[in-house]
Structure 1
Amino acid sequence: MKICIEHILEANVLELAVSKNEMAECCTCNNTNICIDSECPDLHNMLRAIIRYFYDEWRYNRHLGGDDTHSSIIQESNFIFKDEVFLNKERAADLDGDFWSMEPYFDDDIGVSLFAGYSDGMQNMPLESIINDEDRNITSLQNKLEISNYYEHEDFIKNSISKYVGEFDYILKEDDELYRARVGYANSRAAFSGGFTRVEVKYYSPFCGDKISAVPPLIANEGRANRTGVSFLYCATDEYTAISEVRPHPSDIVSIAKFTTKSNLKLFDLSYPHLINYYHCETSLKKLRTYATIAKIFNVATPPSQKGRYLVTQLIANAIRQLGYDGIIFSSTVGTGKNIVIFTPEKASVIEGSEYVVNISSVSYKYKEERVIGKDDAHAIYTDEFAT
């Protein structure tokens, strides 16, 4: 069945469809457009690569207790395709058949396998997702940076990232609007609300110009990408994310401004994997281990109480800067959009007259209960005990 690009959400599948440039009638909207065939071997390999990048085998292998299947993952709400693709029951059944019947096993140099399979009648070790198969050389940097200077590791991290130069480029166009927020405001005044009451209403002057732009290096505190005394410009792709990133409290007044860049900027994309050059086989896909580990470190939230929490991310950012990039785009842990850091703040400017203020009415939190030592660990094997 043919699915047109208007119903494709996942960036890699969309790029694959555009690259094939097959014009056909879409099975969902019946319009003639660029489509991808649900039986296309290249699509199946891309879908396998996406699953393997994000999911451990036990998640979708029912023999290992998995709750999902590879087909149900592909059909997850607003993941690969828009929900309307699966609204028609007959069409959904046909697509489920196409995805369920995808070839699951390949030699490493031929394709991407979904299952580890068996050897000599014994179950092989289940496949681990690329994002969980961490590069220990990268994850060990935190401990090393706590006892040695950052410049001793610059060559290593730069060489690790350099093999992805050109593969993870994100072009920020000069007409793309960015948002930046700051808790507080420049001034406020009270006025009568009118009518027969003397109730006051407040008017605010938002922070403008330099007051909401990047701070000067002399007073720049450390951030995820910058060391103390280094001034980078942090923005977000939408209003909600910009507000969320400054962690306001209820009743806080937050100033917001829109920014644009003065020219197209080349960013290194740590927000989502670019699989188009890596999806063809297992050997290629595994080359993303280092990228996935770097992206995972950069995108994970760290509590302010954690000493040296930005040591590794600052090392990563500086290496990306040295490799000729203008900045980084990465995921937000608190907002719905993405974060952008621009290494040279002068390359972006406030849109004149775009400043405004908002009043934070409420803040919500997502949380999960964690395992308790002495209560939930009856069958746990602690790593520190195993090491001894």
Structure 2
Amino acid sequence: MTINEQRFSEKIENELFLCKNCIKDNKLKTFFEESILNKKTCSFCNKKNQKCLDIYEQLSFYNLISAVIRYHYSEDTYNSHWGGDSIFQIFTRENHILNTINMHQNKYFEYAIEALTIRIEDNHGVWIFLGNYEDGTRGCYFDSIKDSRSTRISKLENILLKENYFLHEEEIKSILTSYNDSIVSTLDVNSTFYRARIGYEKKAIIKKNFPKGKKYRYIPYKGKKISAPDSYLVNGGRLNRTGVSFLYLATNKETAINEVRPDPGHIVSIGKFKSLKPLKIIDFDKIFVNLSQNEESLKSFRFLNHIDQLFSHPITQNERHLYIITQFFADIFRKIGFDAIKFTSSVGNGQNLLVFNPNNFTYMKSKENRTYKIDNIRYSIHPLKN
């Protein structure tokens, strides 16, 4: 170990700071947004004057990051007893939780990862290893929380394809209201989101001889033309029934564009919107943070996670009948008093926001209201078990 490596190692024995730029997972980002951050040198990327969280002895942080590991990965991925790697190895390469690319700028970042890993493995609020059963056999969390499913909702999915949805509303209302404050979040007034629409208002010539032809600028849809459509124009969607106009938004431009599924060559308009008053919302990332502080409460997240996965699961054209299920849950949340639903996007790194009353948001003037051309689309693949 060099002198500089020894100094860095000794330093993080007494302090450990993590900055927002080193966070990739949206649940951890939610936790950071509600935490006290101070300008420090990040132990992971070594950048100075970054907004950092002191995670040295933050029990709530270690409970959450342990739960986030369980959310994204099954134990056999990170437990060598089951043929996996280690948490240290997962964190030092590209992963779902930390922005390792950002950290590689710090040649000592592995020492910070090691310190983080030791604290995670020593944490007993939320377990990352199932351990042994009473009979001595070794247990394993073979399913990630993300891929886990609620038996009750799985049965309900099949029932709703055969029976009228309103026959089962009271049962689900009762379950959701039992979670009380764990599922309630507030979206502040003037919170900003984005909306995309394929196409543009008009095309204007800006240069006639560029260099041997014309150069155009594309003027984006604005105001009502990029807001929620009139109800008579609305077909049934992921969360809205036919003839019901909700406002679909996203937390960033990239996610908004991905959600409208453009093809290469399409021109897409982006509009920025802001909330006009505080709204009572369902935020699945915030729910996860609330329920991740001990093993017992984390188990109860399985039911809510299944709903989030239904909302975000990509549905092909020949599977649109499955909208019956997602529309059902959206109706329930609306009927028990929520103004909007914030849920995971399956096609972007941000989140989606479904607003029941479009009048709670307004289109705002912004330099970000512009058009984008889609150059290409990239697909990510992984092999399935035969």
Report the TM-score range of the alignment, normalised by the length of the smaller protein: 0.7 to 0.9
Equivalent residues of 1:207, 1:355 under 8 A apart? no
Aligned-partner Cα distance in 1 for 2:239–2:318: 18
Which segment drifts farther, 165-174 or 129-138?
165-174
- Partner-residue secondary structure (3-state), 1:167: helix
Specify which of 259, 278, 282 is matched with residue 268 of structure 1. Answer: 282
* Structure 2 unaligned spans of 5+: 1-11
Name the % identity: 29
Aligned-partner Cα distance in 2 for 1:200–1:14: 45
Q: How does 1:277-292 map to 2 (within 5 A)?
A: 277-292=290-305
Aligned-partner Cα distance in 2 for 1:204–1:91: 45
Equivalent residues of 2:264, 2:377 under 8 A apart? no
Structure 1 residue 79: Cα displacement? 5.4
Aligned-partner Cα distance in 2 for 1:254–1:184: 5
Q: Give the equivalent residue in structure 2 for 1:226.
A: 240
Aligned-partner Cα distance in 2 for 1:274–1:14: 13
- Partner-residue secondary structure (3-state), 2:131: coil
Q: Give the equivalent residue in structure 1 for 2:7.
A: none
Aligned AA (2:334):
R
Structure 1 residue 325: Cα displacement? 1.6
- Partner-residue secondary structure (3-state), 1:336: coil
Q: Give the equivalent residue in structure 1 for 2:328.
A: 315
Specify which of 75, 78, 88 is matched with residue 57 of structure 1. Answer: 75
Is 1:162 the equivalent of 2:177? yes
- Partner-residue secondary structure (3-state), 1:158: helix
Is 1:4 the equivalent of 2:17? yes
Which segment drifts farther, 249-258 or 337-346?
249-258
- Partner-residue secondary structure (3-state), 2:315: coil
Structure 1 residue 263: Cα displacement? 1.7
Structure 1 residue 138: Cα displacement? 0.9
Q: Give the equivalent residue in structure 1 for 2:265.
A: 251
Structure 1 residue 366: Cα displacement? 1.0
- Partner-residue secondary structure (3-state), 1:247: coil
Structure 1 residue 90: Cα displacement? 5.4
Aligned AA (2:66):
R
Equivalent residues of 1:185, 1:204 under 8 A apart? yes
Structure 1 residue 221: Cα displacement? 1.0
Aligned AA (1:93):
Y
Aligned-partner Cα distance in 2 for 1:153–1:326: 22
Higher helix share: 2
Specify which of 82, 87, 110 is matched with residue 92 of structure 1. Answer: 110
Q: How does 1:205-224 map to 2 (within 5 A)?
A: 205-224=219-238
- Partner-residue secondary structure (3-state), 1:329: strand
Aligned-partner Cα distance in 2 for 1:359–1:15: 29
Structure 1 residue 220: Cα displacement? 1.1
Equivalent residues of 2:69, 2:97 under 8 A apart? no
Structure 1 24/124 Cα, relative in aligned 2: closer, same or farther at 3 Å?
same
Equivalent residues of 2:92, 2:113 under 8 A apart? no
Structure 1 74/278 Cα, relative in aligned 2: closer, same or farther at 3 Å?
farther
Is 1:70 the equivalent of 2:84? no
Equivalent residues of 2:196, 2:226 under 8 A apart? yes
Structure 1 302/193 Cα, relative in aligned 2: closer, same or farther at 3 Å?
same
- Partner-residue secondary structure (3-state), 2:147: coil
Is 1:358 the equivalent of 2:375? no
Q: Give the equivalent residue in structure 2 for 1:112.
A: 127
Structure 1 residue 47: Cα displacement? 3.0
Bigger-Rg structure (1/2): 1
Structure 1 residue 188: Cα displacement? 3.6
> What is the root-mean-square deviation of aligned Cα atoms in Å?
3.6
Q: Give the equivalent residue in structure 2 for 1:139.
A: 154
Is 1:149 the equivalent of 2:156? no
Aligned AA (1:152):
L
- Partner-residue secondary structure (3-state), 1:305: helix
Structure 1 residue 286: Cα displacement? 0.5
- Partner-residue secondary structure (3-state), 2:319: coil
Structure 1 124/147 Cα, relative in aligned 2: closer, same or farther at 3 Å?
same
Aligned-partner Cα distance in 1 for 2:196–2:279: 21
Structure 1 residue 20: Cα displacement? 8.1
Aligned-partner Cα distance in 2 for 1:113–1:370: 25
Q: Give the equivalent residue in structure 1 for 2:253.
A: 239
Structure 1 residue 281: Cα displacement? 2.8
* Structure 1 unaligned spans of 5+: 378-388
- Partner-residue secondary structure (3-state), 1:259: strand
